[in-house]
Amino acid sequence: MVVFVEDSFDSAHQLPNVPEDHKCRRLHGHTYRIRIEVEGEVDPQMGWVIDYSEIKRVWDPVKAELDHHELNAVPGLQNPTCEHLARWIWHRMTLQGLVLSRIELRETVNCGVVLSR
């Protein structure tokens, strides 16, 4: 079974490795939408895979490092593409012991990335 938590955060960034005339080279912002998924068996006693609050406990400090910040200034995000950002989030959350199965990160309503095990 897959359990998920969805959230959003607002950040600014610029992409330093794109051509000079690319619009994303200039500083701009996004409201990112994230879906964090954990897969596992339902615990017969508790009746759940994981408490939603456990996912949020791990996610909230990671979100605090990103929300209303310029991503280029965050250590490890000097080239903050959506792909790099998804990997960075995954790494930060797994450092806290959460075993993720999938992250979907949307930079806009129509564009984003999926990272999965």
Residue 71's nearest CA partner among 57, 60, 61, 85 is: 85
Rounded Cα distance between 24 and 71, Å, is: 13
pLDDT, residue 5, reads: 98
> 64 pLDDT band (50/70/90 cuts)?
very high
- Per the listing, tokens 């965050």 go with 74
If you average pLDDT over residues 26-38, what whole number do you get? 97
Q: Which domains are assigned to the chain?
A: 2-49+79-116 (3.30.479.10)
Neighbours of 111 (CB within 10 A): 9
Catalytic residue list: 24, 68, 107
